Every structure is written in structure tokens, then in C-alpha cells.
Amino acid sequence: MPVASRPHDHPDTADITDPAGPAVRIRGLTRRYGTTTVLDGLDLDVEPGTVHALLGPNGAGKTTTVRIVATLLEPHGGTAHVAGHDVVRHATEARRRLGLVGQHAAVDEILGGRDNLVLFGRLSHLAARAARRRADELLDRFDLTDAADRPVGTYSGGMRRRLDLAAGLVLDPQVLLLDEPTTGLDPGGRREVWRAVRTLVDAGTAVLLTTQYLEEVDQLASQVSVLSQGRLAARGTPDELKASIGQDRLDVVVRHEADLPAAQAALDAVGTDIETDVATRRVTATVTDRVAALTHVVRTLDDQGVGVDDVVLRRPTLDEAFLHLTGAPPDTAASTGTPGTARTATSAVTEEAAR
Amino acid sequence: MTTATTTRPVAAVPSAGGPTWALRDAWAVTLRDLGHWRRQPWDLVIGLAFPILLLLMFGYLLGGAIDVPGGYIEFLFPGMLAVTMAFGLESTMTAVSQDVQRGVTDRFRSLPMSRSAVLLGRAVADMLSSTVGLVVLLVAGVAVGWRWHHGAGPALAAVGLLLLLRFAFLWLGIWLGLLFRGQGGVTAVQILVWPFAFLSNAFVPISTMPAWLEAVTAWNPITATIAATRDLFGNPTVAASGWAADHATLLAVVWPVVLVAVFGTLAVRRWQRLGR
């Protein structure tokens, strides 16, 4: 297996990077399946106490990255370190410092929540008593004490995910790998998971997150890496990514469909990229001078006696940023149903509501 | 923030190396399965009742029409024991493929535990459950009039051969479970074990079969175990001809050993290559 040369090439310390450095350190990571390169020289750091989100369409290499860092998959090139430990050469040391919460709730359905946590504690080589104590702590922390002895098969989706998260925390890992942790959860369950993740991050845990929900990125992540075909397409804070695609958007919703041409004309005078969604009677434009554009549109439509239901001046959504950066929507499940402008409009509403 | 992360007590946890940890971890994995028995005793009961049901069906419904010197139940019972051991393949495969599918295997592989413990624990758990199943079936056999006639030593040797057969099929089950993810593979195996079981001397003397079928059946690993256990228990055998029939006891040992060597190697290799 090819191993890239690294700065600390000393016989004893070659696999230990600076402990004060990033909790996850990925350099030149490459992975192929057959002849397809799914990961092509990725560099990435996750700092302690932060969430770094991986975004990208299906097959962009998100899950492959997580699986390599979790020691489940060997890289074909490059390196990954967890808390300074090489995931290939010192896999066990890396495993002792990472927790994995995958796409499925990887817990035993027949056993109870407590038995599951004790099992994973024992397999993490905690002594019997320590494993039981840790299980009780985690059950308490994730509000599962009442259900501790019920078979996991009877848990709700949200409870199961919380147990799954707890199972990833048995050794109080420095690095938590979350591979689509809220896929399939209802909004309530999703918020439960977000709250738990925030608490962990506040306590210093580094989180590498893949998700299909852009709202999740807005809620949790301080850094976002957008992957496209195994390469980094863009990186920054969620706000930076939104800003990178440029100007603000002005949405106008008219009361009567017949007034759509009037709204289009008004927006055309101050903005570009006019999009019209007949179903929601919404016209959207990209504007540069926020105040002038808003004033012009409101005054013009008012003068013409056009009934207006809503006017929204907003930053582009992550959905729009994502489309702009990769030319593809994120995984199909992320779209809120309808393609094109309608989807964008819906995300805008969710985004507003979340604030 | 960094100080908070570096003071975590993880370094106090001992390392994963060495055979002691492999055994300890394997036992923890075994205990998980024993936990299933405690949680869902009905699953266990149904699993135990199935071969008994087969025994009663073949013994009383079909057995009347099959004329074997010494009585059909006496002839059938060692066959039922061996077929039950071979069918253990299904439960092993189901458990392995479910764990892979549900991500439990990935969770195990991301823990600082011994790598071999997952397969070892599966083997121990399945051997324990098959031993219990075998004992229950032996009691049921005695209840319907089956006896062993050559004393405890040969009888225990027969039990040993049966468990050896189970052990061989266990590795086939692990390999198939790692190979075919999802219910489709399991269902296919659940169907295919039946012709496999019937292509043996379990239910009828193979001398009653057409010559070409007799030749195939004589080399079935189950046939060797059944012929050998019938000898050891002192149950009626129906003379068959050919090298395989003459060396049944030898084959009852060699076959499982070969199967373990082949499928054990394939299973372990498949396991090691999960991350490749």
C-alpha cells in the first residue's frame, strides 16, 4: 500500500502527529473501487470542538472518507490521523479515540439499550463494572434510562439514534464520525440528535459529519467541505459558501398570477437571473444594491396597483450555493420534493423558519 | 479546547493485543447471543421444536410406508440429528449477514477490540446453541423410542461427529453470510438445504435410489456422518456398496475437516478483506 511521505518521518514518532494539532488530519487521501477513483487526493482537518461537514452528491466520496477515518476501509494513497494516530498503521490506537455513528442504527435490536452499551463497553475493554457505570451515565445523558431494559426493537427512531450515538461515545472519543446521523428521522428526532451533538462539541469533541440535509449543515457545522467526484470543490464556513456565489436574492410573491409579468418587469430593472415559479406566484432575482432594488420594486408594483403577498430579501440558501459549486443537487433525498425554483423556494422558507 | 480533549481517560484502557483479549472479546460477543436467548426464549423454543416436528412427521406420517429392518424411527433418528446439524448453516448465515447489513459488524470493526473475536464469538455461540439443540433432540428421540445400543463411549463419539459436522457448516455459513448481504441469499440457502438434505441416507436407504443418484448421495458429507453415527449408536443400517460407504467413519471425520479448511479459510480471508 503506497504511503505518502510525511513531515514527521522518524521511526518512533512517524505515526504520532502533534497532539495539539487537528483531531482529524487527512492528507492526500485516495481510494479507488475497481477502476473508479472515488476519493482523489483529499486534504482535510477537523479541529477539536468543531463540526466539519462533508457535502456532495452521491458518490462524491463522503462516506468513503468517513469509512477510512473509522479504520473500516484502507486508503490507496495518502494518510489519515485520528488524534495524531495513523488509522492504518496504528488502527487500534485510532479506534480508541474515535466513535462511529453510521447510516444505520448499528445496535442489537433484541437486547435492551443498557445491554447494548455494556456490550460495546466490554468490547472497548472497559472492566465489567466500569462498562456498567458508563452505560448508566450514557443512558442518563441521552434520556434513555426509562427504556434501558426494553428491547431496542421497541424504540422510536429518535430513541434508537440516540442509543446509536451513545454507543459511539462509550470511550468518550475525541473524534466523532457521523455518517448521515439524522437520515430517516422526523424533525423532532433530528432536533434531539442536533442538541446531543452540540453538547458534545461544546465539550471539545471534534465531529466529522456527512449529511444530506443542508439545514443540518447550517445548524451544526463551522466548516463545510463540498466534495465533487472525490475532489474538494469548495471549502469554508456555511456563510462563506453562501457568500461565494455572490449577491442577495429578492423574492416577490404576487397575489394574482396575472401580475407575474409586472413583477418580472420590475425585478428585471434592478436584478439578473430572473426565475419565475407560476405555482407559488413567485419571482426571484439576484440583486446587487439591496436597498435600491427593494425600494424600486416595492414602489413600482405599488404604483401599478399590483397586489403583493410577500417580499423577501435574503442570502442565497446552501441549496443554491451547492448547485452553484457542483452543478448538481445534493443526494436526491435532500431535495424537498420538486425540482428547480420550487425546491429553492421551499428551502428558503425552511431557512427563514429556522432563524 | 485542546486541553479538554487531551485529558480524556482513554489511555487507561488496556490495549487490544494478544490471545487473552481475543478470547475475552469472543466471550463478550458470545454473551450477546446468549442474551438473545434470555430476551426471546420463544425463538429458541421454536428453533428446538422444528427438528422435533420433522422427526415426528417423518417417523409417524411417512415412516409407516418405509420398511427398514430394525424399525424406521431407529433408522431415521441419526439422520435427523445430522440434518439438524447441517441446517444450523442457516442460522449462522442469517446472523452474520444481518450484522453486516445493519452496520453492527462495522461498529465492531471500529472498536479497539480483537479482530478475530467477532468470528470466534459467533462460532462459540452457534456451537453452544447447537449443543443444546442436540441434547433436546436426543431426549425427544428417546421419548419416541430411539435408543443407543453400544454404550456411552460410542454414543458420545457419535455426538462428537455430529458437532464436528455442525462446526464445518458453521464456517460455510459465516462465509456465505459475509458474501451475500441481505435476505435474498439467506432465502436461497434456506431452500437449497432441503435437496441437499434429501440427497443423503437420512430418510431412506440410498440403495433404493437409481444408481447415478446413489453415487452422488454416497459422497454427500451428511451421508458419511449419518452412516458413522448409525454404527456408533448401534442403529440399523442398510448395506450400501462402494468405497464411500465402506469408509463412512473415515469420511465422517475427513469431510468436516476438509470443509473447515476450505470454508474456514475463505471466511477468514473474506473477513480480513472487508476493509480492502
Return the closest-CA partner of residue B112 out of A164, A229, A92, A58. A92
Is residue A142 domain-shared with residue A282, that is, in the same domain? Answer: no
> Do the Cβ atoms of A206 and B35 come within 8 Å?
no
CATH code of residue A69: 3.40.50.300
pLDDT tens track for B34-86 = 999 889 889 888 988 999 999 999 998 888 888 888 889 999 999 999 999 99
Average model confidence (pLDDT) for chain A?
A: 83
Q: Does a structural domain hold residue A128?
A: yes
Supply A37's cell numbers: 477513483
Residue type, B150: H
- DSSP H helices in A203-317: 214-220, 238-244, 260-268, 290-303
Q: Is residue A308 part of a domain?
A: yes
Q: Which residue of A has its CA nearest to B34?
A: A111
Residue A226 sits at the chain B interface (C-beta within 8 Å): no
Give yes or no: residues A41 and A84 share one domain: yes
Q: Are residues A301 and A162 both part of a single domain?
A: no
Residue showing cell 438473545 = B36
Residue A337 lies in a domain: no
Question: A19 pLDDT band (50/70/90 cuts)?
Answer: low
Q: How confident is the model at residue A329 (pLDDT cuts 50, 70, 90)?
A: low
pLDDT for res B3: 37
Please check whether residues A254 and A305 belong to one and the same domain: yes
Residues A251 and A237 in one domain: no
Evaluate whether residue A13 is within a structural domain. Answer: no
Strand partners of residue A53: A209, A224
Q: B126 has which bridge partners?
A: none
Distance CA A266, CA A261 (A): 9
Closest-CA distance, B40 to chain A, in angstroms, reads 8
Examine residue A8 and state whether it is found in any structural domain, yes or no: no
Answer yes or no: do A90 and A200 share one domain.
Answer: yes
**Same domain, yes or no: A209 and A261:** no
A306: CATH: 3.30.70.100
Q: What is the DSSP letter of A155?
A: S
Q: Looking at the predicted structure, is the pLDDT value of residue B130 above 60?
A: yes
Domain boundary among A223, A242, A261: A242
Question: Count of CB atoms within 10 A of residue B232's CB?
Answer: 24
Lowest mean pLDDT among A15-24, A67-76, B209-218, B226-235: A15-24
The verdict on A185 and A304 lying in the same domain is no
Phi, psi of A9 (to 5 degrees): -80, 75
ipTM: 0.86
β A85-86/A77-82 pair status: antiparallel
Chain A residues with CB under 8 Å of B17 CB are 92
Concatenating the DSSP letter of every residue in A313-339 gives: EEPPPHHHHHHHHHSS-S-GGGS-SS-
Q: By CA distance, what is A177's nearest residue in B?
A: B110
pLDDT at B137 over 80: yes
Q: Is residue A339 part of a domain?
A: no
Strands A223-228, A51-55: pairing kind? parallel
Nearest to A106 among B1, B8, B102 (CB): B102
**Residues in chain A closer than 8 A to B39 (CB atoms):** 110-112, 151
Tell me whether residue A340 is in a domain: no
Grid look-up 429556522 returns A354
Which of A224, A242, A260 delimits the end of a domain?
A242
Q: Which residue carries 463540498 as its cell?
A: A226
- Judge whether A345 lies within some domain: no
Nearest CA of chain B to the CA of A208: how many Å? 15
Does residue A311 sit in the same domain as residue A210? no
Instruction: Please give the full DSSP string across A234-265, using - where no structure is assigned.
Output: EEE-HHHHHHHT-SEEEEEEESSGGGHHHHHH
pLDDT in tens, A93-151: 999 999 999 878 799 999 999 999 999 999 999 999 999 999 999 999 999 999 999 99
pLDDT in tens, B157-215: 999 999 999 999 999 999 999 998 778 889 999 899 999 888 999 998 888 888 889 88
Domain count, chain A: 2
- The single-letter code of the amino acid at B99 is D
Which residues in chain B are closer than 8 Å to A206, comparing Cβ atoms? Answer: 5
Q: What percent of chain B has pLDDT over 70?
A: 94
Specify the DSSP element, H or E, that contains A85. strand A85-86
Q: Taking residues B250-265, what's their average pLDDT?
A: 96
Give the domain extent around A50.
24-242
Task: Name chain B contacts of A115, Cβ cutoff 8 Å.
Answer: 32, 35
Of A297, A307, A256, the closest CA to residue A280 belongs to: A256
Together in a domain, A272 and A145: no
Residues A139 and A169 in one domain: yes
Evaluate whether B163 touches B127 at the Cβ level (below 8 Å): yes
Query: Rounded to a whole number, what is the distance in Å from the CA of B105 to chain A's nearest CA?
Result: 8
Same domain, A238 and A251: no
Domain boundary (A220, A242, A264) is at A242
Helix (H, G, I), strand (E, B) or coil at B237: coil
| Residues contacting B258, CB < 8 A, separation 6+ | none
